[in-house]
Amino acid sequence: MIASEKSGGNFGGASVPASRLVSSLAPPIDASLRVPLLALFGGAAFWLVVSSVLAMVASIKFHAPNFLADCPWLTYGRVQPAADDALLYGFCIPAGLGVVLWLFAQLGQAPLRGTLVPVVAAKLWHLGVLIGLAGILSGNSTGFAWLEFPRAGSVVLFFAYLLLALWAMMNFAARRERALFPSHWFLVAALFWFPWIYSTANLFLVAWPARGVVQFAINLWFTGNLLFVWLALVGIGAALYFLPKFNGRPLQGYYFALFAFGTLVLFGTWCGIPPGAPLPAWIPTLSSVAATLTVVPVLAIGVITWQTLFGTTHCEPKGGPFCFIRFGLASFVLATLMLIATACPRISRVTEFTWFGPAQTQLQLYGFFAMTMFGAIYHLLPRVVGFEFPFPKLARVHFWISLLGVVLLVFPLAIGGVEQGLKLNNPDVGFMDALKATLPFLRVSTIGLMLLLFGNLLFALNIFGLTFVWEKALVKKIFTAITAPLETEGEAGSASASLRRDKEVRT
């Protein structure tokens, strides 16, 4: 039902048929996506590394406040939001959009048309991220959480997104396989979700700022919808495609998926306003109720995953991409449970304003979304480009390092946050003592960030390596095409040139 192709998701060369190693022979659907996806994922890999480096710099400052303190561009208050935004806008969103483009083409069996536009849009998106990050680091941040990019950057991002979403939707409308898959619901909803929330937030916060604490409410609404709903829609939408594919059996529980989707958009969109916010009481109360009800879609997604993975015994799914996506789903469940916990007024009393919040966000962004995207990219990119990754073994190393990194980043911060919250709520404990109690946890989280930086370098190495291999082959192909007529005129000569070209490409 889902997949025409039943091959597993191994990183090794075995999964891609040898005939497809020559790029010109890849099916037209994959070939049409090649350049847009390389543009999206290449930039994403670059910003991922940038984000890790910035996050490391920010984290080190807690142990050595004097570290790079004399450079205003690298002060903690600028580096930290820059690291967060580089991860979200630099990596998560373009990677998500790339996966959406591929999934639509794959599920609908229709090649992407007019590939120049998505390529330009991808470049434009990464330009927007560059402008935005430079804005934050030079002190021109807007001051709103997850919306720090100055106006010029946000406008570029917005139009780049519109172009990419438009092309994805056109591909969706032109699909040859007319049946809708559960992934479709999630991804189509995600495509229109972002422009709505991003334009609302930028218009009412930056262009014509609302008055007073209304800004705070809009900022929280935007953050909740982006970090929870958008990421969940894209991540879960992708996972619902890959899970049955890697597992070799159709998705179990179609109606569960429909139910999960409905409740996710219905309750998720109200999440994110902490119970103690200085807003009229009905707003945080409503948000808390909705957050508690979010347990419903989480359970439904858990049931689908369980049934698809463990419903039968005959299948033993293997392979790196599968590990990434399985880890991503587990993180999603945990991150959402953490979110639900912080919406409970009693728990929020302890965890609000502590490191528990950043721990939840990192688990959502990194443990769930980025890991799911890694899995998807490792699976789809070799097929699209027509070459195997240059260092397939490093992908497996990347998995284990990232897993360890996420665990060492998130758990110490969460535990340290609870400890910090308990100490802050006890006025007999001095404030400095409460802060110093978090330091050992922050130290461990710095190690976690270091591992993530290393893992991300491995990811970037594979992406750039693959791009390089493809470009090299392309140059060779062009070179042969130019030089070919001089050597031969007849059919036999042409055939031998083609043979030689194939040989060269393979080596």
Partner 1 sequence: MKNGALIFLAAFLALGSSWCGFVLAPWLQLGGAKQTTILNSSDVYPVGRSGEASLGLQAYRANGCAACHTKQVRQDGVACDVILIDAGKNGEAVQAAAQAVNPALPGLTGSRQTILHTISKTEADTAVGKISAAGGKAEISIIAIGPDIARCWGLRGSVAEDFLYDNPVQLGSLRAGPDLADEGTRLPDINWQLVHLYAPRTLMEGSMMPPYRYLFEVRKIKIGGKPSPDALMLPPELAVAGCEIVPKPEAKELAEYLLSLRVDTPLPDAPVTPPSGSRASTGGELAGPGEDAMFARGRAVYGSLCGLCHGNDGLGKPGQAPPLAGSEWVNCKGVQRLARISLAGINGKIQVEGKDWNLSMAAMGAALSDTDLAAVLTYIRQSWGNQAGAAAAAEVQVLRAEVGVRPQPLTGNQLKSVTE
Residues 129, 220, 334, 406: which binds partner 1 (CB under 8 A)?
Answer: 220
Give DSSP secondary structure letters for 477-497.
HHHHHHHHHHH--SHHHHHHH
Rg of the chain's alpha carbons, rounded to an integer? 24
Closer to partner 1 by Cβ: residue 211 or 503: 211
Tell me the two tokens of residue 49: 């590394």
- SS3 assignment, position 209: coil
Return the range that interacts with partner 1 (CB under 8 A); candidates 9-17, 103-111, 257-265, 467-475: 257-265
Which residues in the 385-444 window bind partner 1 by CB under 8 A? 420, 424-433, 435-436, 438-439
Closer to partner 1 by Cβ: residue 55 or 473: 55
Closer to partner 1 by Cβ: residue 353 or 454: 353
Q: Are 164 and 98 in contact (CB under 8 A)?
A: no
Residues 78, 249, 398, 501: which binds partner 1 (CB under 8 A)?
Answer: 78
Closer to partner 1 by Cβ: residue 220 or 403: 220
202 lies in the binding site for partner 1 (CB under 8 A): no
Q: Among candidates 35, 23, 15, which has minimal Cα distance to 502?
A: 23
Which residues in the 36-75 window bind partner 1 by CB under 8 A? 61-62, 65-67, 69-72, 75
CB of 468 to partner 1, least distance (A): 37
Give buried/exposed letters for 285-318 (b at 16+ CB in 10 A, else e): eebbebbebbebbbebbbbbbeebbeeeeeeebe
- SS3 assignment, position 16: coil
CA 172 – CA 373 distance, rounded (Å): 21
Burial of 38 from C-beta contacts in 10 A (0-12 / 13-18 / 19+): buried
CB of 247 to partner 1, least distance (A): 24
CB of 99 to partner 1, least distance (A): 19
CB of 52 to partner 1, least distance (A): 18
109 lies in the binding site for partner 1 (CB under 8 A): no
Q: Are 398 and 52 in contact (CB under 8 A)?
A: no
Return the range that interacts with partner 1 (CB under 8 A); candidates 89-97, 112-120, 283-291, 390-398: 283-291
Q: Among candidates 195, 21, 6, 171, which has minimal Cα distance to 104?
A: 171
Which residues in the 443-502 window bind partner 1 by CB under 8 A? none
Closer to partner 1 by Cβ: residue 282 or 316: 282
Burial of 413 from C-beta contacts in 10 A (0-12 / 13-18 / 19+): buried
Which residues in the 113-142 window bind partner 1 by CB under 8 A? 139-142
Torsion of CA 74, 80, 81, 87, to 10 degrees: 110
Closer to partner 1 by Cβ: residue 115 or 263: 263
Q: Give just the sign of the alpha carbon dihedral 61, 63, 66, 67.
A: negative
Residue 319, by phi and psi: left (phi above 0), alpha (psi -120 to 50) or beta?
left
254 lies in the binding site for partner 1 (CB under 8 A): no
195 lies in the binding site for partner 1 (CB under 8 A): no
CB of 6 to partner 1, least distance (A): 27
CB atoms within 10 A of CB 377: 27
Question: What's the maximum distance between 2 C-alpha atoms anywhere in the chain?
Answer: 92
283 lies in the binding site for partner 1 (CB under 8 A): yes
Q: Are 124 and 44 in contact (CB under 8 A)?
A: no
Which residues in the 162-191 window bind partner 1 by CB under 8 A? 178, 180, 184-185, 188-189
Return the range that interacts with partner 1 (CB under 8 A); candidates 102-110, 159-167, 192-200, 399-407: 192-200
CB of 346 to partner 1, least distance (A): 12
Q: Are 276 and 352 in contact (CB under 8 A)?
A: yes
CB of 254 to partner 1, least distance (A): 11
Closer to partner 1 by Cβ: residue 323 or 409: 409
- SS3 assignment, position 446: helix
211 lies in the binding site for partner 1 (CB under 8 A): yes
Residues 120, 152, 162, 277: which binds partner 1 (CB under 8 A)?
Answer: 277
Which residues in the 299-358 window bind partner 1 by CB under 8 A? 349, 352-355, 357-358
> How many residues sit in the footprint of partner 1 (CB under 8 A)?
87
Closer to partner 1 by Cβ: residue 146 or 366: 146
CB of 379 to partner 1, least distance (A): 26
